[in-house]
Amino acid sequence: MVVCDRVTEIRPSLNRLIIRALSHDAKRNDDYFYLRRIHWALVCSRLADRRPGICTGGLTVASTSHEPPTSCRDFEVGQEPVPGFRLIEHLGPDGETYKAEGPGGFRVALQWQRRKHLRKSLDLFKDIRHPHVLAIFGVWSADEVDIVAMELAECTLSDRLRQGSEKGIAPLELLQYMEDAAKGLDYLNAPRHTLLGKSGMSVVHGDIKPVHLRLVGGHVKVAEFIHAECVDPTQPDEERGHVLACTPAFAAPERVQGVVSVQADQYSLAASYYYLRTGRHLFSSASVREILRRCQEEDPDLAPLPVHERRVLLRALARKPKDRWPTCLAFVNALKKAMAADTRHWWQLWK
């Protein structure tokens, strides 16, 4: 085989072919070593030739003029997709997030995201800082993807559920997690942000679910801002435009209809609470279409919960946003009072 002396003579699309060859029988002959050298040269050339990074509000965005690998699957443990950040191990079932070691030995999470999904939300979160919102440290941008460096979490609440009982996370432990998440969401939802040149704006997360609630140091932080929306609270919900993305099992009825509502995050938090408390979804069906229909037309059956909890949860899960609790923290505080009414828990809550 002929090996080019200059990487620039190799078409970027060869990267995928090289990886495919490496995953099969190339290791059985000398071609493996040539393929390996070409692959590594391609990786280095694409990410080393960069334009200067742009730092805005503490968030660094760097660019590259070459087409990068479009997935973290194009890399292996030990490589540096971003100079100075060495990959340690995969995180999560999607395979798009790595644990990495940055300069000075500090560990972060590196996540690959399609630029069209992430660019708008990054603009919203450049200046947002809160103890219960997962921090973003930097973003390296290329033609098709963004590589995001973010705070490294210990696990998600979905992981925590799998670690414990199949019947759900212990109520008192779960309440603490919900309180942390509520504080982060209320900070985002409050009309206190200056965004897109306008003050008094709110941020709607748009996709709250257990896997997006991360444990860091024993406390929960809200993460994953791909579907975040900037909202003017003085504008009626129907005039705020439309959204297409949602997770059916945790989506508010208005979000299923494409309407942006500040109270949608509270509904999703309540749906997450029920799932983590019982190990069951609000609406069980083999059909996504049926789940979406039921969340818009039916009240969920919360029979596994005590009656006091059911009343609080049903208000947070109201089909009309205006009928829900005024804030996420008000919802969680009402849950505390409801649980205190159960003699099995009151002494632990208020000791």
Among 69, 78, 72, residue whose Cα is nearest residue 17: 69
Above 90 in pLDDT, residue 106?
yes
> Given 129, 152, 175, which residue is the final one in a domain?
152
Indicate if 10 and 143 belong to the same structural domain.
no
Q: Which residue has the higher pLDDT, 181 or 255?
A: 181
User: Mean pLDDT across the stretch 129-157?
Assistant: 89
* pLDDT score of 24 more than 70: no
Per-residue confidence (pLDDT) for residue 196, from 0 to 100: 75
- Using CB atoms within 10 Å of the CB of residue 141, give its burial: 0 to 12 exposed, 13 to 18 middle, 19+ buried: buried
Domain closes at, from 125, 152, 179 = 152
Q: What confidence score (pLDDT) does residue 226 get? A: 85
Alpha helices in the chain (DSSP H): 14-22, 31-48, 115-125, 157-163, 171-189, 253-256, 264-278, 288-297, 307-316, 328-340, 346-349
Residue 146: predicted pLDDT: 84
Q: Note whether 226 and 164 are same-domain residues.
A: yes
Which pLDDT score, from 0 to 100, does residue 12 have?
A: 45
What's the pLDDT tens digit per position in 201-242? 999 999 999 999 999 999 999 999 888 888 888 887 665 556
Q: Are residues 75 and 125 in the same domain?
A: yes
Whether 297 and 185 map to the same domain: the answer is yes
Let me know whether 216 and 327 are in one domain: yes
- How far is the C-alpha of 207 from the C-alpha of 210, rounded, in Å? 10
Q: Which amino acid is at 240?
A: R
pLDDT at 81: 87
Contacts within 8 Å (CB) and 24+ apart, 13-19: 14/38, 14/42, 15/39, 15/42, 15/43, 15/69, 15/74, 16/74, 18/42, 19/74
Residue 61 pLDDT > 70, yes or no?
Answer: no
Q: Which domain holds residue 21?
A: 1-48
* Dist CA 176 CA 53 (whole Å): 39
Average pLDDT of span 339-344: 73
Mean pLDDT on 81-103: 85
Q: What is the pLDDT of residue 244?
A: 58
Residues 98 and 115 in one domain: yes
pLDDT of residue 63: 39
Sign of CA pseudo-dihedral 305, 306, 307, 313: negative
Q: Is the pLDDT of residue 33 over 60?
A: no
pLDDT band at 82; cut points 50, 70, 90: confident
- The number of domains in the chain is 3
Residues 112 and 11 in one domain: no
pTM confidence score: 0.77
14 and 91, same domain (yes or no)? no
pLDDT class of 285 with cuts at 50, 70, 90: confident
pLDDT beyond 50 at 28: no
Same domain, 117 and 167: no
Domain of 261, CATH number, reads 1.10.510.10
278/297 same-domain check: yes
